[in-house]
Amino acid sequence: MQNIDINQVKQQLPQLLENIDDVIIITKQGLPIAKIVGIPDKNKKRQFGSAKGLIKMSNDFDNSLDDFMEYM
């Protein structure tokens, strides 16, 4: 994330938009007033397995819960 003062944005907007891989926060007197976010490339292919190891399930995830027996 990049914080840039509004006065700098006025001068550098074309350069900032050329490669907007990161979020840009526009500030005025040190306070955030706007956020610029790039649009993802729709032609970019997904990479299978990129989330491997990020999701974990408990061994008992599919066991019934005693608290919910009255609803079943």
Q: What is the model's pLDDT at position 67?
A: 76
Q: What is the model's pLDDT at position 32?
A: 95
More confident of the two residues 69 and 57: 57
pLDDT digits (tens, 9 = 90+) for 7-43: 998 898 888 888 777 889 999 999 999 999 988 777 7
Question: Alpha-carbon distance 59 to 3, whole Å?
Answer: 44
Q: What is the largest CA-CA distance in the chain?
A: 65
Question: What per-residue string of b and e applies to 23-53 under the rule 16 or more CB within 10 Å gives b?
Answer: ebebbeeeeeeeebeeeeeeeeeeeeeeeee
The hierarchical CATH code for the domain 1-38 is 3.40.1620
Strand order in the sheet with 24-28: 2-5, 24-28, 31-36
Comparing CA positions, the residue from 44, 9, 14 lying closest to residue 25 is: 9
Q: What is the pTM of this model?
A: 0.53
Sorting pLDDT into bands at 50, 70 and 90, what band is 64?
confident
